[in-house]
Amino acid sequence: MPTHHASSSYAEVRSALLNHKEIALLDVREEHPHAQAHPLFAANFPLSRIEVDAYTKLPRKSVPIVVLDAGEGYAERAADKLLELGYKQVSVLSGGISGWQAAGGELFRDVNVPSKAFGELVEAQRHTPSLSADEVQFLIERNADILIVDARRYDEYQTMSIPTATNVPGAELLLRISSLVTGPNTLVIVNCAGRTRSIIGTQSLVNACIPNPVAALRNGTIGWTLAGLNLDHNQSRRFGEVSSDNRKIASESARRVADCAGVQRINFDSLGNWFLRIDRSIYFFDVRTSEEYEAGHLPGFRHVAGGQLVQETEMVVPVRGARIVLADNDGVRANMSASWLAQMGWEVYVLDGATAEDFKETGNPKNLMPPPPAASSVSAQELEHLIKTEKSVAIIDLNSSINYHRGHIPGAWFALRSQLDDAISRIPAADHYVLTCANGLIASYAVAELSLCVGKPVYLLEGGNAAWEKAGFELEIGGGKQASPPIDRYRRPYEGTDNPREAMQGYLDWEFGLIEQLSRDGTHGFRVL
């Protein structure tokens, strides 16, 4: 019999948002349908990954959680999972997406919408300086005294970049910029793929009152492409070391900006008590580079680069109204990132008083997860033998669609865990079923689910595709066999180099319309400095 779940109305969710109460509004569909329409603060939290993500992203078991879908039944299944994991206040949004809209709620498309809408608000209210693609190209051609900095992740920068640009991810800008310019008259031009990170990066430098003139590249690499200009690819220009004097100046500037934004402080000596609190959802983030984090970080702090934290806040902090604590070892990255989060309505603190000796943990800590159910398993060698000797073996890969395309066990079917029932109907019946994924983790939680679907023995590939490859067996590259649609990933209009011009222009038009949508929605709580 289906479980009867508590429900929450649009009015109840809206009231919680307006009153800054903790609430996790979780869209448990895959990323592509989520990107088509969702409430402003609905975090994408796919049913397929709940066991993997819940304990890290929902740190307080008593936090109010409202799950939603578009009527597919995922919300009810997600509610069951969350209750099994020990969460106490789980409800289903009344009517799902259509119920939200029918009650007068605004629906947004794309991903990371709160941050992108906030960026548009910043530009509108602060009149963030910008230059067109043609204006920047003119300066490049004349060897003007300019510095173009790409504020995205390094992998994004390598895919495509503005000619001569150096990669300096957003939270690093204030710290690194003085070491990259030739002098105080160098014009600093900040770009990203679209608009948000170039606006936030430019305004960060303006807010910090650096001596150089600063401008955003209007509409980023999209605007560059639409202007008919050529992009570079596979570039490797990155920021270098920073002098102690420049670090000190940047730290003082960042502190002033954070104080102006209302960022709060916590002393290192008080930190231990906060880890023990059960009355608040508290996230602890180290916002430096991944290399610095792995070399030594504070116990209990997870790594999220500051620029990405501001750009993708709801992906790592799905509890709206939660408390966020940021740390670094120089007072620049944490304070600048916190200054933006505070303006976005978050209760954010910067940790003061930590010494170099306190950054004593190395590597990347493992996410806390529930133990997977007991399951029969096979090794890579046993699977290879089974494939050779048995005609009736179905290998089902629950990897992401992108990683499946990059490499999968020959003959394996791609399937979404959330759609296993439907996927099985597309896979020829077999005597043996083997579940795999990148490392066996998600597959380990799905063995029992698949067993119920097929009524036949189901085995887990120990170590997943990584173990198969490590054993010396080849992977097959390409689309392979699709038992589920590849909707786990939403293709951003600014990603890659082969997007249609209409899609890129449509994305820019959508961003321009976000301020009006924010006004209609009315729950954002943003306050621009």
Which residues does 89 contact at the CB level (< 8 Å), separation at least 6? 62, 63, 64, 65
| Cα-to-chain-centroid distance, residue 185 | 36
User: Same domain, yes or no, for 323 and 390?
Assistant: no
Would you state the pLDDT for residue 497? 64
Determine the pLDDT at residue 1. 41
| Residue that has been written with the tokens 């983030």 in this structure | 285
Of 483, 445, 479, the closest CA to residue 464 belongs to: 445
* Residue 363 domain flag: no
Question: Is 37 inside any structural domain?
Answer: yes
Is the separation of the CB atoms in 418 and 34 below 8 Å? Answer: no
Q: Record the tokens describing residue 180, joined without a space.
A: 């990259």
Q: 448-454: long-range contacts (C-beta < 8 A, 24 or more apart)?
A: 448/373, 448/375, 449/417, 449/420, 450/396, 450/420, 450/424, 453/420, 453/421, 453/424, 454/424, 454/429
**Whether 105 and 121 share a structural domain:** no
Strand partners, 352: 267
For the chain, the straight-line distance linking the first and the last C-alpha, in angstroms and rounded, comes to: 53
- Rounded to 5, what percent of the chain is helix, strand, coil? 40, 15, 40
Pairing of strands 166-167, 481-482: unpaired
Q: Are 123 and 233 in the same domain?
A: yes
Other CB atoms within a 10 A radius of the CB of residue 332 amount to 30
- Domain count of the chain? 4
Sign of CA dihedral 76, 82, 88, 89: negative
pLDDT at 496: 64
512 inside domain: no
pLDDT of residue 503: 86
Q: Is 145 a member of any domain? A: yes
**Residue 208 φ then ψ, to 5°:** -80, -5
* CA–CA dist 214, 216 (Å, integer): 7
Give the DSSP per-residue string, 286-334: E-S-HHHHHH-B-TTPEE--HHHHHHSHHHH--EET-EEEEE-SSSSHH
**Residue 478 token pair:** 């390409």
Residue 393 contacts residue 431 (beta carbons within 8 Å): yes
228 and 280: one domain? no
The answer to whether residues 225 and 256 belong to one domain is no
Residue 181, SS3 per DSSP: coil
In a domain, 438, yes or no: yes
Distance of alpha carbon 45 from alpha carbon 20, whole angstroms:
21
Quickly count: other Cβ atoms within 10 Å of residue 278's Cβ.
9
One domain for residues 155 and 193: yes
Answer yes or no: do 172 and 221 share one domain: yes
Q: Both 225 and 261 in a single domain?
A: no
The amino acid at 155: D
Sign of the four-CA dihedral 511, 516, 522, 527: positive
Task: Please report whether residue 290 resides in a domain.
Answer: yes
257 & 230 share domain: no
Q: In degrees, to the nearest 5, what angle opens at C-alpha 300 toward C-alphas 294 and 301? A: 55
| CATH value at residue 307 | 3.40.250.10
DSSP annotation of 279 reads S
Q: With residue 521 as reference, give the H or E element that holds it.
A: helix 514-521
Q: What is the DSSP letter of 432?
A: E
- Token code pair at residue 131: 């230059």
- 207, 240, 273: which is the final residue of a domain? 240
Residues 335 and 403 reside in one and the same domain = no
Query: Which of the 8 DSSP states describes residue 280?
Result: S
Exposed e or buried b for every residue in 143-152, given b needs 16+ CB within 10 A? eeebbbbbbb
Rounded to an integer, what distance in angstroms lies between the CA atom of residue 148 and that of residue 202? 11
The answer to whether residues 56 and 367 touch, using CB atoms and an 8 Å cutoff, is yes
Residue 520 lies in a domain: no
Domain boundary among 216, 240, 264: 240
What angle separates helix 196-207 from helix 113-126, to the nearest 10 degrees?
50
Residue 165: domain span: 117-240
User: Is the residue at 502 inside a domain?
Assistant: no
Same domain for 270 and 329 = yes
| Domain termination residue (choose one: 440, 465, 482) | 482
Residue type, 323: R
Q: Which two tokens stand for residue 84?
A: 């099994």
Q: Report d(CA 262, CA 107) in Å as an integer.
A: 30
Cα 282 to the center of its chain, rounded Å: 18
Q: How far apart are CA 491 and CA 494, in angstroms?
A: 8
What is the C-alpha to C-alpha distance for residues 23 and 8, in angstroms, rounded to an integer? 11
Q: How many Cα atoms sit within 13 Å of 102 on the Cβ side?
A: 9
Which residues of the chain, if any, have pLDDT below 70? 1-3, 496-497
Output the DSSP codes for 35-89. Answer: HHSB-TTPEE--GGGHHHHHHHH---TTSEEEEE-SSSSHHHHHHHHHHHTT-SE
Q: What is the dihedral of CA 311, 315, 317, 319, to 10 degrees?
A: 120
Same structural domain for residues 123 and 216? yes
pTM for this entry: 0.95
